A = this chain, B = another copy of it.
Amino acid sequence: MTQRPDSPDAAEALRQELDRAASAAGYLLNPDVVFARGLAEGLLTNEARYGYRACPCRLASGDANRDRDIVCPCDYRDSDLLAWGSCFCGLYVSDDVARGARPLAPVPERRHRAAAQRAQAPTQRTDGLAVWRCRVCGYLCAREQPPAVCPICKAKADRFEVFSLGS
């Protein structure tokens, strides 16, 4: 008997894999295991249906190019973690939400605004993004805000500074 790709066992295996990858890079998976497993199951269902792990909380089009921004982890995860303490789904959470010091709250969809901005200025996609430098280890990344934790040395966001290129 073949195991369905989105069986509970497969979902739990994926949840654990995502949890390990998240920890290694300074992210946090939702500590509510049952909740996170349900989302992992949704990812597997979407993978079987579309061929990619589209966000389980959004309606995918089935067109890989149009859905690219919502393949998990989505393009909006890190901005939403910063602004709202979790990604759109609640699969990834901030440190205070993980500790229970902040409740999991609804996250407004920022996808359509981002798409409109890209349509208006397709060649300026990365303009205005600062390059951040970790003062501890020198890690560089280009984002709206620094990550909560440096993925390399685990220093916190307040150890990042804007890095001037070519100055």
Is A83 among interface residues, defined by CB-CB distance under 8 A? no
Chain B residue contacts of A163, Cβ below 8 A: 126, 142
Given A137-B147, A140-B140, A141-B140, are A159 and B78 also a contact pair (CB < 8 Å)? no
Q: How many residues of A contact B (CB 8 A)?
A: 43
Given A127-B164, A133-B126, A153-B73, are A141 and B139 also a contact pair (CB < 8 Å)? yes
Copies in the complex: 3
Q: In chain B, what residue has the closest Cβ to A73? A: B136
Cα A152 to Cα B153 with chains together (Å) = 12
Cα A152 to Cα B125 with chains together (Å) = 21
Chain B residue contacts of A106, Cβ below 8 A: none
Q: List 20 A-B contacts (CB under 8 A).
A: A21-B153, A21-B154, A25-B137, A25-B153, A27-B153, A68-B159, A73-B136, A73-B137, A73-B153, A73-B154, A75-B135, A78-B138, A125-B161, A129-B133, A131-B140, A137-B141, A137-B147, A137-B151, A138-B142, A139-B141
